[in-house]
Structure 1
Amino acid sequence: MSLVDLSHQIWPGMPKIPILPEVERHQITSIADGAPMDISAITLALHVGTHVDAPSHVVAGGKSIDQIPVERFEGTAVVAEVDRKPGEEITVDDVLAGGPAPQRGEFLLIATGWSEKFTSPDYADHPSLSPELAAWAVQRGIPFVGVDMITPDLPVHRRGKGFDFPVHRTLLGAEVLIAENLTNLDGLGGRRVRLRAFPLAILGGDAGPARILAEI
């Protein structure tokens, strides 16, 4: 058995969507300054870096991240390797061609290779999941979908007027959890892995920063 860390590190100024505040780190006490211990704090929007979205992110009255049973964050996951360009949609056929067909109750991770662009401006222009794929995941009984992109929906600059986040709404509306900003999926395409994706249990949180691991 070996573990693959699918999580990005967190640091001040790390990539994020434009509407979110910058990540900041504050040193409260320092051994170097004579304090008995180092204590620091961070300012972190819940949707920066690797995290798991809760239904309340888009569903009024939906469950917050602390209300999701911990059993929902661990399971067998199919990793589908997909090759799509910026602005292109990832379809059901792409997923089925990229790995074994997920069975009811299995998680789905979509590996596009986009995490390699994480620190580049190109990271913001990515493929997206088709609304039909989101509906298929719900119908198939997939409880968790993870992507190595900033969002499974269209990139910010490709959204038209009245854009309503159809992939988020379809998945989270059916309590299918979403993990965003995964990394290190290269080499796992076409495989089944054991996923552990435990977010921080933030009271009332619409998401939770997570350390997500794949066991192979």
Structure 2
Amino acid sequence: MTLVDLSHPLWAGMPKIPILPEVERHQIAAIADGAPMNISSITLALHVGTHVDAPSHIVEGGTPIDELPVERFHGTAVVSRVDRKPGEEITVEDVLAGGPEPERGEFLLVATGWSTKFTSPEYGDHPSLSPALAEWCVERGIPFVGVDMITPDLPVHRRPQGFDFPVHRTLLGNDVLIAENLTHLDGLAGRRVRLLAFPLAIRGGDAGPARILAEI
């Protein structure tokens, strides 16, 4: 058994969607200053870094992250390699060409290679899942979709006026969980893996930071 870490570490000032506050880390106590132990804190929005979105992220009255059964966060996942440019839509055909066809109940991870740009301004200009692909996932019975991008929807600067997050609405509105900001998917492309994607159980949380691992 080999475990592959699909998560980005958290650090102060790390990349994020512009609307979100900066990640901050504070040293509360330090051994170097005479304290008996080191103690620090971190302040971050729940949608920074590698995380899992709960239905309550976009559905009023939807299930929050802490009320989802833990069984929802692990399962067999198909990793599909897709080569698309910024602003282009990832289609059902792309997913089927890039890996095994997911069976009902299997997770889908879309590997675009965008995680290599995580600390670059280019990270914010990425491909997106087509609304038709999101609908296909629902019809196919896929309970969990993960991407190595900041969002499966259109990049922020490419969104038209009145943009309503169709991919988020289709997936989360049908109880399909979303993992964002994954990394190290390229080496798993075209394979089936066992995914362990347990988020923090934040009471009432619309998402949860997660340490996501693939078991091969």
Report Cα offsets for 1:17-50 as digits up to 9, x if no partner.
0000000000001111111111100001000000
In 1, Cα distance between the equivalents of 2:43 and 2:153?
A: 26
Q: Please state if 1:41 is matched with 2:33.
A: no
SS at 1:187 equivalent: helix
| CA distance in structure 2 between the aligned counterparts of 1:157 and 1:44, rounded to whole angstroms | 23
Segments of 5+ residues of structure 1 without an aligned counterpart are: none
Q: What TM-score do the two structures reach when normalised by structure 2?
A: 1.00
Q: Look up the match of 1:172.
A: 172
Q: Deviations over 1:52-96 (max 9, x none)?
A: 000000000000000100000000000000000000000000000
Alignment of 1:1-216 (within 5 A): 1-216=1-216
Q: SS at 1:196's partner residue? A: strand
1:186 shift after superposition: 1.2
Q: For residues 161 and 167 of structure 1, what CA distance do their matches in structure 2 show?
A: 16
2:135 counterpart SS class = helix
- Code of the residue aligned with 1:114 in structure 2: it is W
- Equivalent residue of 1:32, what SS? helix
Normalising by the residue count of structure 1, what TM-score does the alignment of the two structures yield?
1.00
Return structure 1 stretches of 4+ with deviation > 3 angstroms: none
Shift of 1:128: 0.1
Task: Give 1:212's aligned amino acid.
Answer: I
- Aligned residue type for 1:189: A
What is the percent sequence identity of the aligned residues?
83
Separation in 2 of the partners of 1:28 and 1:14? 20
Query: For residues 97-116 of structure 1, what are the alpha-carbon distances to aligned partners after superposition, in whole Å with 9 as ceiling and x for unaligned?
Result: 00000000000000000000
- Which secondary structure state, in structure 1, belongs to the residue aligned with residue 170 of structure 2? helix
Question: Can you give the 5+ residue segments of structure 2 that lack an aligned partner in the other structure?
Answer: none
CA offset at residue 137 of structure 1?
A: 0.1
Whole-angstrom distance in 2 between the partners of 1:203 and 1:175: 18
Distance 1:135 1:43 in 2: 35
Question: Alpha-carbon deviations, 1:5-27, whole Å to 9, x = none?
Answer: 00001000000000000000000
Distance in 2, matches of 1:105 and 1:12, equals: 37
Q: Distance in 2 between matches of 1:111 and 1:159?
A: 22
